Amino acid sequence: MTNYGQRDNYRLRRSVKRPEMSNKNNNNNNNNNNNNNNSSEAGQCLSYCFFEELNIVDGNGFPDRRKLSYMLTKDIRERELRNFYMDTVQQCFRYVDNYRHNKCAQSRELIKCMTEYAKAQCDDWEEYKNMLFN
């Protein structure tokens, strides 16, 4: 059985890519920035709608850790896989806590984090990724 403890905490921090801000990005013309912001906001809010449609948001409309954990694990009987999902949700909610001011951004970052965590932990990710996301 794999131990998903501190070692994995390091792997998550190492593997989750955070957005970088540079002067080059800040000096782009306003039209490009507006188009990128609109696309980014739409993607973030699409992620939020996903959580909302599945009824896994809290009273304030933010993704709910307990509801998401339950939804992902309710039918899983294999202990190792169940623990993996629980750890993934827990680690990613810690990571996205910085986004508590924006439902859409938090939702998008949560999905990105869970995907990165799975990539870092699953040796067979490349083999099955097309089946999961097509």
Nearest Cα residue to 68 out of 133, 129, 114: 114
Residue 106 in contact with residue 94, Cβ under 8 Å?
no
Residue 63's nearest CA partner among 29, 35, 115, 103 is 103
Q: For the segment 79-122, what is each residue's pLDDT rounded down to a tens digit?
A: 999 999 999 999 999 999 888 889 999 999 999 999 898 888 87
The DSSP code for 17 is P
Structural domain boundaries of the chain?
6-16+24-133
- Under the banding of pLDDT at 50, 70 and 90, the label for residue 15 is very low
Distant-in-sequence, close-in-space partners of 134: CB < 8 Å, separation ≥ 6: none
Q: pTM for this structure? A: 0.62
**91 close to 117: Cβ distance less than 8 angstroms:** yes
